[in-house]
Amino acid sequence: MDVAPATAELPSTATDDIRTSWERSWMSGVRPDLSLERLDAVEVDTGSRLLRAALPVLERVADALSETSYFTVLADNAARIVHRGRISHRTSDVLDHTGVVLGRQFTEDSTGTNAIAAPFELRRGVAVRGGEHFAQSLRVYSCYGYPIINPVTRRLEGVLDLAGRAGEENPLFGPFLRQAVEDIERALLADSRDAGRRLLHAFDSATSRREDRALLALGADGEVVVANRTAMDHLDADDHSRLRELADRARAGSGGREVRFGTARGLDLQLTVDIADGHGNALISFAPVYTRRRSTIAAPVAAVDPVDRELARCRAHRLATVVVGEPGTGRSHTARLLAGPDDAVVTLGCADVERVGRVAWLERVRAAAAAESLVVVEDFDLLDDHLLRAVGERIANGAWIALTGPPMAQLGAEHRYLAFRCLGRIELSPLRDRRSEIPALARRMLAEATGGSARFTPPTLARLAELDWPGNLQELAHVVRTVAGRRSAGDILVSDLPPEYRSAPEVARMSPWERSEHDAILAALERNHGNKVAAARDLGISRGTLYNRIRTLRIKA
């Protein structure tokens, strides 16, 4: 899309930040003459943490600005206006007329360049003077915008905008605004400390009431603040992410107070989730349980792993089976598990066809099938049309064949047809979709490598569970073997991991819903070769919504 019209109206004195912001606004479909009245306005939460911290500061700022035309506009962490400062009725009418109303979102893809949208996008202070505003209705203002960063979580809490009539700019207003933002950030820090003290008090009170119950306190940021000994004995580090999800659902009102919870140690617990205060702190308690789940008796059929269930079915009836998944998910190992203890297994790689010749390769398939062995055909997506038909005929004639290859979505039409001729199908999930299993897998791999003389500390297991593992089980096994080679006994810390595995990616801190949205957007962008307009159409959402989600989820696109 041509971006030249985007900057045609810009003053020549505009900075590079303003110029590139205009270009982003134009590319997202916003036009300077569009009315801001087309945008929805949501109800403002007047009791939010941001407003509690900011209101006393904004009152002091209003006193200092009383002899000027300037006033403040406060936006939250979604760039929605939540406060318009101390303004006169006349100024209020002007703001309403120009579209600066409470609850309206001011992002680049909705309102273009302004002193809320640009700092929200860039995460730094920006001055936007008169004609530098993208929307024509906002060019009557000159503004200074600065992001508010939570000192505890380091997340964006909002943007403070100092606005006034165009032409009345003052270079001192920039430092004045930064000082006001620092005061708000200090108030947020004090509020967080007060919330922590209240959480500890609630924890102590709950402990004194029920000494026989396990108790664990989660802060608003999802971190475990304190836990009693009983909770520590029953819950492992790999349970903490699921506890955070339970607390998030309870805060949103979408999760029950009484929750059934299966731990990584095989325990079945009945948790009670209480939101301790209006700051998002949560208390989780449960009665100790000392019986483990029995998968063969007590657990319902739905609790059995679907891969194990399909393996058992295909093994019992000697069915032709296709095993698909990303590289490193254990496709070949899973295929060989189809054979019983007395069954012979013959493995043939499709990459070897050119080396041994088609005729000789097919003869090996025929001979193994005639001997009633399990024939594992690895990387069947490499087979040409002639070999596809030949293998398909063997399957139709009852040969016991297991095909391994990439996910079904990556197969061509002919290879997909061969896969569907198999009566058994096993799809192996990537390790990033099985985070809760990673700690147990890592412990088992380490025990095999060290004979049980070394152990991962809980923080190390938590870090391993946060990583994406594009190489899946093979990559995890490689890292565990590498660590075991360096430290064969004692505790293995996060610092003992290879350097590239010591810090967690941003996506790992997302909720399951956010991760699925993140992955869906990445897949749409890949299908459409990075074209955001086509990706938005593919996903069935507007371009503005896609740009907003890309920014919110920190997708590099």
Model confidence pLDDT, tens digit, residues 294-339: 333 333 333 457 888 888 899 889 999 999 998 888 899 999 999 9
Helices 385-396, 413-420: crossing angle, 10 deg rounding:
10
Burial class (CB in 10 A: 0-12, 13-18, 19+), 245: middle
| Residue 523 pLDDT | 84
d(CA 504, CA 203): 30
Model confidence pLDDT, tens digit, residues 181-240: 999 999 988 877 777 677 767 777 776 665 557 777 776 655 655 777 667 767 776 677
**Percent with pLDDT over 70 in the chain:** 83
Give the C-alpha distances (Å, rounded to integers) separating 544 from 27, 69, 153, 533.
Answer: 10, 33, 27, 10
**Percent with pLDDT over 90 in the chain:** 28
Domain 510-552: which CATH class? mainly alpha
- Contact residues for 71 (Cβ-Cβ < 8 A; gap 6+): 62, 65, 84, 85, 86, 87, 91, 162, 163, 164
CATH topology identical between 4-191 and 210-286: yes
Query: 43-52, 277-286, 335-344, 414-423: which range is least confident on average?
Result: 277-286
The amino acid occupying position 510 is M
Query: Is residue 496 scored above 80 in pLDDT?
Result: yes
Query: Is residue 128 scored above 60 in pLDDT?
Result: yes
CB 476 within 8 A of CB 435: no
pTM of the model: 0.47
The rounded mean pLDDT for the chain is: 82
The amino acid occupying position 51 is L
Give the C-alpha distances (Å, rounded to integers) separating 36 from 96, 162, 386, 391, 551.
Answer: 10, 20, 62, 63, 21
Which CATH number, 3.40.1260.20, 3.20.20.70, 2.40.50.100, 3.30.450.20, labels domain 210-286? Answer: 3.30.450.20
| Residue 27 pLDDT | 85
pLDDT-based confidence at residue 290 (cuts at 50, 70, 90) = very low
| Residue 243 pLDDT | 77
| Residue 322 pLDDT | 93
Model confidence pLDDT, tens digit, residues 394-451: 898 889 999 999 998 888 888 988 888 899 999 988 888 887 788 888 988 998 888 8
Phi, psi of 417 (to 5 degrees): -60, -45
| Residue 542 pLDDT | 81
Model confidence pLDDT, tens digit, residues 87-113: 988 889 999 999 999 999 999 989 999
pLDDT-based confidence at residue 167 (cuts at 50, 70, 90) = confident
The three-state secondary structure class of 403 is strand
Distance of CA 37 to the CA centre of its chain: 33
Q: Helices (H) and strands (E) in the chain — how many of each? A: 20, 17
* Element (DSSP H or E) covering residue 425: strand 424-428
Query: Is residue 44 scored above 80 in pLDDT?
Result: yes
Which CATH number, 3.30.450.40, 3.40.228.10, 3.40.50.970, 3.60.150.10, labels domain 4-191? Answer: 3.30.450.40
* Element (DSSP H or E) covering residue 538: helix 532-539
| Residue 291 pLDDT | 34
Domain boundaries, the chain: 4-191, 210-286, 304-429, 432-507, 510-552
CATH architecture designation of domain 432-507: Orthogonal Bundle (1.10)
d(CA 128, CA 383): 61
CATH code of domain 304-429: 3.40.50.300
| Residue 301 pLDDT | 35
CB 110 within 8 A of CB 544: yes
